[in-house]
Amino acid sequence: MKTAVYDSLLSVRNERGAGFIVLVDPDKLSIDRLRTRIPIFETAGIDALFVGGSLMHASEVDHYVGELQEITSLPIIGFPGSVSQISPRLDAVLFLSVISGRNPDMLFGQHVHAAPMIRRFGLETIATGYMLVESGRLTSAQYMNHSLPLPRTKPRLAAATGLAAEMMGMKLLYTDAGSGAEHPVTEEMIAAIVSASSLPLIVGGGLTAPEEVRSRVDAGASFIVVGTALESSVDPGRLEELVAAAHVAQPHPI
């Protein structure tokens, strides 16, 4: 089984303290706009790109990823909202199970349809326990997944959920407050999850300031994901501050 991308992510975490990943949504950020953004992303030192959205389809994803590969050497990792968003051109795909909810289709159902396709494409899969977290508003992810989020004031519940994912053999945990979240995942919840599970933790949703990034990394996040904050415009200096807030944390022991 391929592990090259997963191993490279772990190396980033070990060497830089935490990784910084940009989520690009083809529905909101065209390739033409990305052509001017990618040099800014690379200069700032981001570590990878997640590609995903709520509405796009296979042909659009395939074309988008192909175009993206021509303008960057950054790892391009699928963050699929459905089976139709998996492309053979991806470097890897997050094999997401929405463990915060009780929708069987998102826990395991869609995976049965996706698995033969992924095997045929020869894609590296990274089994990821995906936890939607209450953020103050209904997000696209919650609506599309028909899943209730974890209460943001219940860190012990999140910790137990992450521990269960580790016992089931998953490789990553991902807590997401959702696109344009009013409230990002709390430091208390992050610390509780990390204390209960040894899996690397991705944190995304609503992080817009360097101090917010740094406090989540200090709490134990292994990777920070930012998307919405970079869609309308990008301030290169601000982005460099966000990335630096993740990279200057104390490295994890190897």
171 token code pair:
């490789």
Where residue 146 falls (left for φ over 0; alpha for ψ -120 to 50; beta otherwise) is: left
219 contact partners, CB below 8 Å, separation of at least 6: 187, 188, 190, 191, 194
Structure tokens that stand for 122 in this block: 């020869």
Question: Which pLDDT score is estimated for 191?
Answer: 98
pLDDT in tens, 18-76: 999 999 998 888 899 999 999 999 999 999 999 987 666 656 888 999 999 999 999 99
Residues above pLDDT 90, as percent of the chain: 78
For 192-243, write each residue's pLDDT tens digit.
999 999 999 999 999 999 999 999 999 999 999 999 888 888 999 999 999 9
Say whether 234 sits in a helix, a strand or coil: coil
For the chain, which residues make up each domain, given as ranges? 4-247
- The CA distance from 214 to 223, in Å, is 11
CATH number of 4-247: 3.20.20.390
pLDDT value, residue 55: 66
Question: 106-164: per-residue pLDDT in tens?
Answer: 999 999 999 999 999 999 999 999 999 998 877 777 777 777 899 999 999 999 999 99
